[in-house]
Amino acid sequence: MSLALVAWVAIGAALAGFVQGLSGFAFSMVSLSVWAWTLDPLLGASLAIFGGWTGQVIAAFTQRRMPDKALLWPFVVGGLCGVPLGLWLLPRLDVVVFKAALGLLLVVWCPAMLLSARLPRIRGGRLGDGLAGFVGGVMGGIGGLSGTVPTLWCTLRGYPRDAQRAVVQNFNLAMLSVALALHVLGGHLTAAMVPLLAIVAAAVLVPVLLGARLYQGLSEAAFRRLVLGLLTASGVAILASALPELLRR
């Protein structure tokens, strides 16, 4: 294992941990925007799931999160149905398409979240919550991206800030726990990956706590602009690296 690989994994995990501490989600989006340049998608996805799970466990012991169970359960039920499908899709992904899809997700989703205050509130009911959870579960199985769609959906539904954060964090913890267990059972996490997993865990610890502390002093608008602006820039960079190869096909 080269020093460059260690540094690259640690940098991606630290940045993602900080953003997760700020927002309560988005570990995989940030880490994979860094790791997609050098790591195999399956390895990157496994590390992202583990890192996101580690960050959520840390948050569970350091933050008081009391979600409304009536709001939470449709997301969780839908997500549990979606995680196995995401894991089935993961080994069948094309590397370049995976990078392009990740970049497109960041470029489309993050500005949408920045503009979401101007979007009309929608009434999706528990069925809509369950479908959002299902999509989140699929994306969680693919690479720990379980929080993206449910977060946008909660915003469009007009959930209060604290209620949304509690729902998304607990949903992510549930989905990442299931995805991590299935990755272990499926043999995606091997003994050879233990050193990298240890690096991710060590790199996440302090940034997650720093991000959570900074969150307490930031307005909602300020931290959303900061985090989503950085994620949008990451998506542009990933698309720039993937599109030329896609166009040559």
Query: For residue range 103-153, what is the model confidence (pLDDT) as tens digits?
Result: 888 888 788 777 766 666 777 788 999 999 999 998 877 766 788 788 878
Q: Higher model confidence: residue 114 or residue 43?
A: 43
Beta strands (DSSP E) in the chain are: none
Q: Higher model confidence: residue 115 or residue 38?
A: 38
Mean pLDDT of 212-221: 79
Residue 17 confidence class, pLDDT cut points 50, 70, 90: very high
What DSSP string runs through 78-144? Answer: HHHHHHHHHHHHGGG--HHHHHHHHHHHHHHHHHHHHTGGGSPP---HHHHHHHHHHHHHHHHHHHS
Q: Which of 133-142, 156-165, 184-193, 205-214 has the lowest mean pLDDT?
A: 156-165
What is the residue whose two structure tokens read 């954060």? Answer: 165
Model pTM score: 0.78
Residue type, 33: S
Residues of the chain with pLDDT > 70: what percent?
93
Q: What is the CA radius of gyration of the chain?
A: 17
